[in-house]
Amino acid sequence: MLKALVEQGHDLVVAAVEVHTARRVLGSFSKSIVQAPSQVDKRYPLGRPAEGVADLLSLNGFADNASLKGRHHAWCQLATLFKPDLVITEHSPGALLMARALCIPVVHVGTGFTLPPEQFPMCFPGFAVGDNGKREQRHLDVFNKLIGSSGGQPLSHLHELFNGVAGRYLLSFAELDHLGPRDGVPYMGVEVPEDGERPVWPDAGQHQVFAYLKPFAALEGFLMAVNALKLSLLLVPDRIDPAILRRHKSSNIRVVEGRQSMKSVTRDADLIVCNGNHGTAAAAMLGGVPSLSFPLHQEQEACARRVASSSLGAMLPVKDGKAIPPLLETMLRSRAMQESCDKAASRYQDFDYQDSVSRMVREIGALL
């Protein structure tokens, strides 16, 4: 999308937390790539699970008024330097706050987690309203002081920071919207990359299971279940202790380090196992493959809950090792779940992410 806008004659300035990554991905067509103001020298633990967007903001330093004021000033300085006609932001409340304060039009893109719905309060699935409204109000009071100091329009609710913009696009599907589904915001879908290695499954075992996993408490329980059920597992480990993999080495488990072609994986797999990654869940849904998630944090749990509620898979707590064998057997035998996955894949059989890109480029171009 960004490259297409540049090809139309627009100048692109990128503010990124990880400048080296932005240079690698966007450097060939971006006019300038600069460091985004960010909180890097402090941590703000809650001591409890994040219950909603207000908690997420606090975890990222937005309750530290002195630090926030400094970062907001830095964002405004960037705007003064580059004088943008439009801000396109993904997962950047700081950029949204700056644009609101300086009355700069914004297009907000993101998943259902980073572009929360228009509701008060914005709670995560599984949590009651509780004190979340009060927490949002505390952020709102501080934000409005910063907005008002530059002559911007104050917010009446915190959700306006994310939704009171010139354009919104959800890079997701209704079935996978972390905090959805919702009306009024277009779902642009997810691009499933075709590049990567073609999967080579173990010769031994039954049912082809693909897993992309980080370490979690029940990991060894999962590997033990795979061996006990004699499943054919293709595993891409992410920072998993090699000693764990050696302990469960078998002819029906193949461990690979290279990134796999997810389109090829979904053509062959009977089940996909992950930590609740949104991109992996999207690949599984488009390919008509059930998925089992072991979420490690709030965003992954929200995605895994939507997968389960859409009858596209199941989720387990990361410590629940005993429940893994029967759940694997049930999922691999379930005709109802496979039918739900087949129906979802059929709904999106004509989906082409490039059509979504073309729409966003066309509509964003009209704002410039």
Write down the pTM of the prediction.
0.94
Whether the predicted pLDDT of 317 surpasses 90: no
Prior bond of 49 cis (ω within 30°): no
The strand order across the sheet containing 291-293 reads 253-255, 231-237, 206-213, 271-274, 291-293, 313-315
Q: How confident is the model at residue 307 (pLDDT cuts 50, 70, 90)?
A: very high
Q: How confident is the model at residue 42 (pLDDT cuts 50, 70, 90)?
A: confident
What is d(CA 83, CA 94) in angstroms, rounded to the nearest whole number? 17
Q: How confident is the model at residue 35 (pLDDT cuts 50, 70, 90)?
A: very high
* 190 vs 321, residue with greater confidence: 190
Cβ pair 213, 235 in contact under 8 A: yes
348-367 b/e (C-beta count within 10 Å ≥ 16 → b): beeeeeeebbeebbeebeee
Q: Which among 26, 19, 22, 24 is positioned nearest to 3, based on CA atoms?
A: 26
Average pLDDT, the chain: 96
pLDDT digits (tens, 9 = 90+) for 181-211: 999 999 999 999 889 999 999 999 999 999 9
Identity at 326, one-letter amino acid code: P
What is d(CA 155, CA 173) in angstroms, rounded to the nearest whole number? 28
Cβ pair 263, 283 in contact under 8 A: yes
What is d(CA 106, CA 117) in angstroms, rounded to the nearest whole number? 17
CA distances from 178 to 45, 167, 274, 276, 338 (A): 23, 20, 16, 11, 22
Whether the predicted pLDDT of 284 surpasses 80: yes
pLDDT digits (tens, 9 = 90+) for 324-334: 999 999 999 99
pLDDT digits (tens, 9 = 90+) for 101-114: 999 999 999 999 99
The helix (run of H) or strand (run of E) holding residue 69 is helix 65-82
The pLDDT score that the predictor gives to residue 39 is 85
The pLDDT score that the predictor gives to residue 40 is 76
